[in-house]
Amino acid sequence: MLRRTVPRAFSSATSSLRGLPLDGTTINENVKSAKYAVRGNVLERSMELQRRMAAGEKLPFDTIVPCNIGNPHACLQSPLSFHREVLSLCISPTLASDHPHVFKKDVVERAKAYTAGLGGGVGAYTNSQGIPAVREEIAAFIAERDGHPARADHIYLTNGASEGVRILLTCLLRSGGLHDGLLTPIPQYPLYSASLTLLGGTLVPYLLSEGANWGVEMDNLRESLATARAKGVEVRGIAVINPGNPTGNILAEEQIKDIIEMAVEEKLVVIADEVYQSNIWKKDASFSSFKKVACDMGYTGAEGDERLQLVSFHSTSKGYYGECGLRGGYMEVHGIGAEVRAELYKLSSLSLCSNTIGQLATGIMINPPKKGDPSYETFTKERDDILSSLERRSIMVHTALNDLEGVTCNRADGALYAFPRIRLSNKAKKAAEAKGVPADEFYCLEILDQSGIVLVPGSGFGQEDDTLHFRTTFLPAEATMHETLKNLARAHEKFMDEHRD
Amino acid sequence: MLRRTVPRAFSSATSSLRGLPLDGTTINENVKSAKYAVRGNVLERSMELQRRMAAGEKLPFDTIVPCNIGNPHACLQSPLSFHREVLSLCISPTLASDHPHVFKKDVVERAKAYTAGLGGGVGAYTNSQGIPAVREEIAAFIAERDGHPARADHIYLTNGASEGVRILLTCLLRSGGLHDGLLTPIPQYPLYSASLTLLGGTLVPYLLSEGANWGVEMDNLRESLATARAKGVEVRGIAVINPGNPTGNILAEEQIKDIIEMAVEEKLVVIADEVYQSNIWKKDASFSSFKKVACDMGYTGAEGDERLQLVSFHSTSKGYYGECGLRGGYMEVHGIGAEVRAELYKLSSLSLCSNTIGQLATGIMINPPKKGDPSYETFTKERDDILSSLERRSIMVHTALNDLEGVTCNRADGALYAFPRIRLSNKAKKAAEAKGVPADEFYCLEILDQSGIVLVPGSGFGQEDDTLHFRTTFLPAEATMHETLKNLARAHEKFMDEHRD
């Protein structure tokens, strides 16, 4: 018999005699409480408008512009040829032998190498931690990026970065009435707040400083930690998103160093969300990983060195590849002992393995064609076209936002978003109150109804008290961006005019 | 600011002043307690042996034979041509236009239809519930299979069935000290026991009857329910695996009807794991879904009719497709109200969407080429070859197991496994005890060391007290099956000889 069966008796609970239906009152409360704004009310409303347009209704716009989510291919960004061709061949290996003229040599070779390492092709479950050959590729990429060694057995491939965050937080946050918490930036990507609610953990907020280009202020951070501890929260870790989502800031090495020092002192696991590491727009800026800075500081994470505990995340969904749908990603653990690594493996094995195409896409992402390879020229052209266009769009959006009445917006140094602050009149705030929605959501709904542009209210990410923001991507195609920004300006102006005090 | 931040104060907890490292003592206890035998000790040992063989060590066998997991492609089962070609074209849509002679017309058309419905290709996030066009295909498949209507908006595409089970159980099992439980068959697929442990739920076991070909006995089931309730467990649902894993039994409609009646009376959500619905080996037997039987009984699940609450699961990993690595699957909810459906949607949206290739593979699985289509003949031949070979192998394995000393094995009427009972001597049991492992695990480890065959101990699935079993797939390639079974017999004989009382 299984070890864990019906316990002898529970002291306090009494079950109902006839069971409970599954409905809104008997569902897990943590599920109900979790919020995920990126796919919340404004998106729901946009889907309704889409249906009404499809049914022939005339609206003030011709098309819905999805600026709510970093989903580049939905905004017509093209996939990279080499990447896709290798995946096609991995799925149908005979294509290359049957039609030898169709694929370039390096495409065929890469696909062959992956297929050989798969033992059963893309249709077989892989090692629960991911295909060993791909983990070796990732380790080599990290080593080259950081100038410090990386180990394939410290890497876990996941369905996008989100699954990695779920697995890690499931291990970190203890259940059963222990008040474990996570220092989380405000504003933050709502995966963190939602996961904390779901797992019964406590969000310990630390405010990013809008006045200092959304930087982390250490005094602020230490104060948040002290306050939470004084209230009985066992703070287990700190989440850092770099480059920032929704804020677009890039952390300087000095700042990363300060955070690492504090994490070591205070025994906090650093959760470094680095999925935007290839989206750097600020001139002369570059991305430094937490792993690199940690190793520079001497926290090598060698077996037994658990002074700094760090888990970093990467994804195929962002960068210049934008392969959101394939759900590829990985996490690298550093300073995490064998026992915990084994538990992370077990959690991964519960869903057997992440999808093979996403795993291979992750391999190709971090190991693209090299100089001299037949696909190199096409690859670099495709990559550079995407990156330079994104850079131009980031500037267009940031400039246009600052031109709006009552709006100020920090520059997006990295990532795919702008997070402007909006100042709304009392009349607007009262109108929102009358409708029972937060003022920023009211604003986003009105902009949507007028322009078809889907924004996300700042309240979904968290914002300083008495401030209002929204998040927009700068992903709409460059050819249409000018028009989109004009439409936004027109809708904004109308909103401001209609709600003057 | 976010609504959920640091609470004012916790009454009972005191946080540590300097934090806690993440290690074996500070990890979430539920994670530590969860067991997942399919990828447990025996598999670990097989990986070690593989490494030793690769390093040149001579072992009593030439190859590791993975009978531990239903992973057909790893056992050289070929993928279906139509399915893979459509996926290749979805990944690289220009292949068809650049090389018009390469693909059959129906392949090109299907890929075009999917690509058109994707709006951004396979690289874009989809609706969190899954691609609408694929959900429509699935609804049509279910309607045809069952003779009752199905709704696309009651279908959720997931990364394999495992993710669906996780999402559903997360909604169903309340946290915070409520003793919610799930009736679970013993033996069971350990995803259920592990998920329950992880979510803090209680496994309420009901024994399948080995003497009645692993059927469900209603008296037994009712007694388990009553016992659990008497102990204060709030039993929320019942899991049924049909065809059975690890048992291979097929439920007759009469049995399904009895279970449904009880679920309605006792307000239990039925969790119908039907991933083996295309693996039917028993002559003249057929698969009946819980949904079909429920609708036959008048539980139509129409909006507002929540008398019977049913969630059924399907997957691309089994059947004759065996596409485990692609992680495709879906769940269909029935009699579940809009509020809960919205929560299931929200949970899906936390990881944005399941992988697009798995979603498309699910669509192709349930909507293969039809008579008259250019790919129809190849498809039927490939399908029938796989199914007839699996049927022959199921008989070979079942017969060979019954020929072993001390072993009896029910016929596998369906699914991909045999679950024989083994009777071990006291000497063998004592040897296991001395090694600190359960007797069935000891047996499996010894068989592995002698033969290279990887089995899973019955204790990983649960078994009646004082009985011992193991699970084996019948997936090794037919050409090698005879040899594999001879090796198993030899290793078994040696084990029995060495452990005679």
Residue with tokens 């290996």: A93
Per-residue tokens: A224: 């948040």
**Would you call B232 and A160 a contact, using CB atoms and an 8 Å cutoff?**
no
Mean pLDDT taken over chain A: 93
Q: What is the CA radius of gyration of chain A?
A: 24
Cα of B430 vs its chain's centroid, Å = 33
pLDDT band for B120, please (50, 70, 90 cuts). Answer: confident
Q: What percent of chain A has pLDDT over 70?
A: 96
- Give me Rg for the CA atoms of chain B: 24
Q: Which residues of A touch B34 (CB under 8 A)?
A: 346-347, 350
d(CA B439, CA B461): 14
- The angle that helices B376-402 and B478-498 make with each other, rounded to 10 degrees, is 20
Scanning A13-72 for CB atoms below 8 A from B yields: 13-24, 26-36, 38-39, 69, 71-72
**Partner residue opposite B232 with nearest CB, options A9, A21, A181:** A9
Is A173 an interface residue toward B (CB < 8 Å)? Answer: yes
Question: Is B72–A123 a contact, with Cβ atoms under 8 angstroms apart?
Answer: yes
A-chain residues near B325 (CB < 8 A): 118, 120-126, 353, 355-356
Q: How many other CB atoms are there within 10 angstroms of residue B286's CB atom? A: 9
Kindly state the average pLDDT of the residues A393-409. 96
Mean pLDDT of A145-155: 98
pLDDT reading at A5 higher than 60: no
> How many Cα neighbours within 13 Å face the side chain of A422?
30
Q: For a pLDDT cut of 90, what percent of chain A falls above it?
A: 87
Average pLDDT over residues A102-121: 91
Give A284→chain B minimum CA distance, Å.
30
- What local confidence, expressed as pLDDT, does residue B40 receive? 77
- Chains A–B, number of C-beta pairs less than 8 Å apart: 423
DSSP A80: P
Nearest-CB residue to A205 (from B2, B120, B336): B2
DSSP letter assigned to residue B77: P
For CA atoms B486, B491, B492, B494, give the dihedral sign: positive
B24 with A84: Cβ contact below 8 A: no
Least confident of A84-88, A260-264, B94-98, B455-459: B94-98
The residue in chain B having the minimum alpha-carbon distance to the alpha carbon of residue A79 is B123
Phi and psi, residue B407, nearest 5°: -115, 135
The mean per-residue pLDDT over the stretch B211-231 comes to 95
pLDDT for A40: 77
Task: Assess contact for B15 and A234: CB atoms under 8 A.
Answer: yes
Find how far residue A176's CA is from the centre of its chain: 28
**Under an 8 A CB cutoff, do B197 and A346 touch?**
no
Q: Which of residues 215-274 of B touch A (CB under 8 A)?
A: 227-229, 231-237, 265-269
Tell me how far apart the alpha carbons of residues B424 and B467 are, in angstroms, rounded to a whole number: 9
Q: What are residue A209's phi and psi, to 5 degrees?
A: -95, 105
Q: What average pLDDT does range A55-65 have in this prediction?
A: 94
A343 has a chain B CB within 8 A of its CB: yes
pLDDT value of position A6: 54
Mean per-residue pLDDT, B46-71: 93
H or E stretch at B165: helix B160-172
Nearest-Cα distance to chain A for B284, in Å, is 30
pLDDT of residue A333: 98
Answer whether B13 sits within 8 Å of A232, measured CB to CB. yes
CB contact under 8 A, B29 and A358: no
Whether the per-residue pLDDT at B212 is higher than 50: the answer is yes
- Res A101: pLDDT: 82
| Contact of A413 with A285, CB cutoff 8 Å | yes
User: Does the pLDDT of residue A24 top 60, yes or no?
Assistant: yes
Give me the interface pTM, i.e. the ipTM: 0.94
Contact of B1 with A462, CB cutoff 8 Å: yes
Rounded Cα–Cα distance for residues A351 and A62 (Å)? 42
Smallest CA–CA distance, residue A304 to chain B, in Å, is 11
Amino acid at B186: I
Phi, psi of B272 (to 5 degrees): -100, 105
Average pLDDT estimate for A305-327:
97
Mutate: best of B333, B355, B416, partner A, most A CBs <10 A: B355
Cis peptide before B243 (omega within 30 of 0): yes
| Beta carbons within 8 Å of A276's beta carbon, 6+ residues apart | A242, A243, A244, A245, A318, A319, A414, A415, A416
Q: Which residues of A touch B17 (CB under 8 A)?
A: 229
pLDDT, tens digit (0-9, with 9 covering 90-100), for B308-322: 999 999 999 999 999
Average pLDDT over residues B75-100: 92
Q: Is B6's CB within 8 Å of A204's CB? A: yes
Nearest to A6 by CA among B237, B199, B186, B232: B232
What is the rounded CA–CA span in Å between residue A465 and residue B5? Answer: 13
**What is the per-residue pLDDT across A124-149, written as a single tens digit (0 to 9) for each?**
999 999 999 999 999 999 999 999 99
Under 8 Å between Cβ of B206 and B186:
yes
DSSP letters of A266-330? HT-EEEEE-TTTT-B-STT-----HHHHHHHTT----TT--SS-EEEEEESSSTTT--TTTT-EE
Q: Does A323 touch chain B (CB under 8 A)?
A: yes
Residues B490-501, mean pLDDT to the nearest whole number: 97
Q: Judge whether A87 is closer than 8 Å to chain B, CB to CB.
A: yes
CA distance A429 to A1: 61
* 3-state DSSP percent of chain B in helix, strand and coil, to 5: 45, 15, 40
pLDDT at residue number A2 = 47
Helix (H) or strand (E) holding A472: strand A468-473
Q: Which of the residue ranges A84-93, A241-250, B19-28, B151-160 would you say has the lowest mean pLDDT?
A: B19-28
| Closest CB to B200 among A75, A175, A336 | A175
Provide the phi-psi class of A452: left if phi over 0, else alpha when psi is between -120 and 50, else beta: left
Answer whether residue A38 shows pLDDT above 80: no
Nearest to B121 among A18, A79, A170 (CB): A79
Contacts of B29 in chain A (CB under 8 A): 174-176
Per-residue model confidence (pLDDT) at position A18:
80
Q: What is the mean pLDDT of chain B?
A: 93
pLDDT for position B1: 46
The per-residue pLDDT for B14 is 62
Per-residue pLDDT, A1: 46
Give pLDDT tens digits for B129-140: 999 999 999 999
| B 433-452 near A (Cβ less than 8 A) | none
Write down the pLDDT at residue B36: 81
Domains of chain B: 33-76+379-498 (3.90.1150.10), 125-366 (3.40.640.10)
Q: Measured between alpha carbons, how far is B437 from B133 in angstroms, rounded to an integer? A: 50
All residues of chain B having their beta carbon less than 8 Å from the beta carbon of residue A232 are: 9-15
A193-to-A175, A247, B273 alpha-carbon distances in Å? 17, 16, 32
CA dist., res. A461 & res. B107, Å (int): 44
Q: What are the distances in angstroms from CA A308 to CA A304, A305, A340?
A: 11, 8, 14
**Which of B2, B99, B323 is the closest to A203 by Cβ?**
B2
CA separation for the pair B380, B364 (Å, rounded): 14
Nearest to B206 by CA among B171, B247, B172, B173: B247
Provide, as residue numbers in chain B, all residues whose Cβ is less than 8 Å from the Cβ of A128: 39
Judging contacts by C-beta atoms under 8 Å, the chain A residues touching residue B126 are 325
In the stretch 288-317 of chain B, residues with CB closer than 8 A to chain A read 306, 309, 317
Confidence of residue A192 (pLDDT cuts 50, 70, 90): very high
Give the residue with greater pLDDT, A99 vs A199.
Answer: A199
For β-strands B456-457 and B407-408, DSSP reports them as unpaired
Q: What tokens appear for A336 in the block?
A: 């995490």
How far A87 CA sits from the closest chain B CA (Å)? 7
* pLDDT tens readout for residues B352-374: 899 999 999 999 999 999 999 99
CB of A97 within 8 Å of a chain B CB? The answer is no
Q: Which of A496, A490, A493 is CA-nearest to residue A60?
A: A490
pLDDT at A410 over 50: yes
Query: Which chain A residues are within 8 Å of B21, Cβ to Cβ?
Result: 267, 306, 309
Cα–Cα distances (Å) from A386 to A114, A366, A393, A476, in that order, read 27, 17, 10, 12
- Does residue A181 belong to the interface with chain B, where contact is any CB pair within 8 Å? yes
Query: What is the C-alpha end-to-end distance of chain B, expressed in Å?
Result: 71
Task: Retrieve residue B476's tokens.
Answer: 């090794």
DSSP states of A359-407? HHHHHHHHS---TTSTTHHHHHHHHHHHHHHHHHHHHHHHHHHHTSTTE
Whether A229 and B352 lie within 8 Å, measured CB to CB: no
Q: CB under 8 Å to B230, separation ≥6 — which residues?
A: none
Which among A313, A394, A372, A299 has a CA at the least distance from the CA of A105?
A372
- Distances in Å between the Cα of A223 and the Cα atoms of A173, A265, A304, A420, B29 are 22, 15, 31, 26, 30
Counting DSSP H helices and E strands in chain B, the numbers are: 17, 15
**A213, A285 Cβ separation under 8 angstroms:** no
> What's the pLDDT score for residue A7?
53
Secondary structure of residue A349 in the 3-state scheme: helix
Hey, is the C-beta of A176 within 8 angstroms of any chain B C-beta? yes
Predicted confidence (pLDDT) per residue in B9-50, tens digit: 565 556 777 888 898 899 999 998 888 876 678 988 999 999
**Given this model, what pLDDT does residue B117 score?**
84
Residue B488 is predicted with a pLDDT of: 97
| Token pair recorded at residue A483 | 């028009």
